[in-house]
Structure 1
């Protein structure tokens, strides 16, 4: 783990990117609460601890554990016990459905039952930790990375598919899975968050009955579709507030008819009213 921490500390950038496609590195030194979107990602923690809230669920994860986000969801999180001398360090891999599908087509893995949560945390096996470290090492070996990074990413994906969070990743690679249908609805709500909608119409988009859609949406996201929309609105508003303080204009821009209602819900979500919020920079999901 020491080698992995050293590699991340040297190469993590503010935009999280590395020279290897779909490989991200994160170094955080602030503990303040911040909103962000998870993306679809596997995030491995090398140092530090973070607490994430998704709806009414709380996820607490630390070094030696990994998080799987199989749906892009709005979260609020804060780091615990970190500082400039002991930062939180993490490495992530963007989960691409096609990469999962390719593995499933080549190997006989039984389909999971039930609807997995869209966000989950597990302890990393020694094999997974070793593969993640070898992938991080390639950031300093560009010639080797071109040939070996795709193979190691496949190995990591396989370790996750056959581990405790395999069900969520498995469904990510199947276009006919419940998770994929919910992900389609999530994408639509994110693109149209400022507009009102009827749940029955989004359920049709997802190819489900309204009752099945509502039940599965809540199982995956820990929120109802309307609650999910509100989370997106408030997070978008927080980002807009970083560039200007016209509360009324921003409240209308994200879909609120009433600025006072917007201020109430903003304060309930972030602990301060929009006019006094100074912690406007979202932290990375891992």
Structure 2
């Protein structure tokens, strides 16, 4: 006999349990790395300024408060109980929009394994996604209480470190299966569909991430996945929210920023290392993305830290 479906009240109770679990282990503001390598917890006691970063393949869940993520011109606002699935490495601008010391923002990020997605999708009798459902590398949706319950058990497992190696993989597998069976399922299925435009764009993006310092032409990328240049650009923008060259530019500029911030490299050297031949072009595009020239931006970030 099947269990009755969970009600909205049940969902609120599960979300409350998840908030208590996250708050227990993320006691201070910041990003908390956990004993489960794929899981990070996040806490903020005030709203934050927009930050440029790259979201990898995973699912982010807001447990308390609100957060905003901008991908190109598209904006995603998600609040408690909602999740943001990212199926490819994407440069985004993100900030917490609702948080206070009395009710801090709480969230978590769970990295996903594409091999686990492929294997689970192959074993499940899932309906094929509708052709009318366009593939996007980022999608927002509510999480059902059952999936939230599994995530809660994964966070609570941090209190039993000796059991993590045995139990965490089982809970992560259940999360993957429930994601495939839920509203994020069509996006995950389109990612793993062999020969689909989404997979071809993902292949190009993976190559760009490994080779962004090299000279790149969009037409060559299109040829590598056997698409015409116009079709490739159309699919790339539909998936990533930006053109191939805009994606490449953001990869280069974010890497240059990290080199200057973490290794003390000067702007000219950082620009050359990430593939720029012109120092003036590097400085101009850097200021356009981050709102200030390299030296002023790095000084501002260090003062803020």
TM-score of the two chains, using structure 2 as the length reference: 0.83
Q: How does 1:125-140 map to 2 (within 5 A)?
A: 125-140=144-159
Question: Residue 10 of structure 2 aligns with which residue?
Answer: none
Secondary structure in 2 matching 1:255: coil
Question: Residue 17 of structure 1 aligns with which residue?
Answer: 33
Q: Deviations over 1:119-167 (max 9, x none)?
A: 1111122222222112211111235444433332222222221222212
1:280, CA displacement in angstroms?
6.5
Partners of 1:60 and 1:15 lie apart in 2 by 20
Question: Residue 230 of structure 2 aligns with which residue?
Answer: 211
1:226, CA displacement in angstroms?
0.4
Asked if the contact 2:31/2:43 (under 8 Å) is kept, the reply is: no
Asked if the contact 1:44/1:64 (under 8 Å) is kept, the reply is: yes
Asked if the contact 2:18/2:148 (under 8 Å) is kept, the reply is: no
Gaps of 5+ in 1: 282-286
Asked if the contact 1:38/1:73 (under 8 Å) is kept, the reply is: yes
Secondary structure in 1 matching 2:221: helix
Identify the structure with bigger relative contact order (alpha carbons < 8 Å, sequence gap 6+).
Answer: 1
Question: Residue 260 of structure 1 aligns with which residue?
Answer: 280
1:74, CA displacement in angstroms?
1.0
Asked if the contact 2:67/2:98 (under 8 Å) is kept, the reply is: no
Partners of 1:101 and 1:280 lie apart in 2 by 42
1:219, CA displacement in angstroms?
0.6
Partners of 1:150 and 1:251 lie apart in 2 by 41
Question: Residue 249 of structure 1 aligns with which residue?
Answer: 269
Bigger shift: residues 236-245 or 94-103: 236-245
Question: Residue 284 of structure 1 aligns with which residue?
Answer: none
1:105, CA displacement in angstroms?
1.9
Say how many residue pairs are matched. 281
Asked if the contact 1:100/1:157 (under 8 Å) is kept, the reply is: yes
Greater C-alpha Rg: 2
Asked if the contact 1:238/1:280 (under 8 Å) is kept, the reply is: no
Q: Give the root-mean-square deviation of aligned CA atoms.
A: 2.4
Secondary structure in 2 matching 1:279: helix
Partners of 2:102 and 2:224 lie apart in 1 by 49
Q: How does 1:134-153 map to 2 (within 5 A)?
A: 134-153=153-172
Do the aligned partners of residues 280 and 70 (structure 1) sit closer, same or farther apart at CA in structure 2, a change above 3 Å counting?
A: farther
1:254, CA displacement in angstroms?
2.1
Q: Is structure 2 residue 79 aligned with structure 1 residue 62?
A: yes
Q: Is structure 2 residue 28 aligned with structure 1 residue 6?
A: no
Asked if the contact 1:100/1:172 (under 8 Å) is kept, the reply is: no
Asked if the contact 1:239/1:280 (under 8 Å) is kept, the reply is: no
Q: How does 1:50-199 map to 2 (within 5 A)?
A: 50-83=67-100, 86-112=103-129, 113=131, 114-199=133-218
From 49, 53, 61, the counterpart of 1:36: 53
Gaps of 5+ in 2: 1-14
Do the aligned partners of residues 235 and 121 (structure 1) sit closer, same or farther apart at CA in structure 2, a change above 3 Å counting?
A: same
Higher helix share: 2
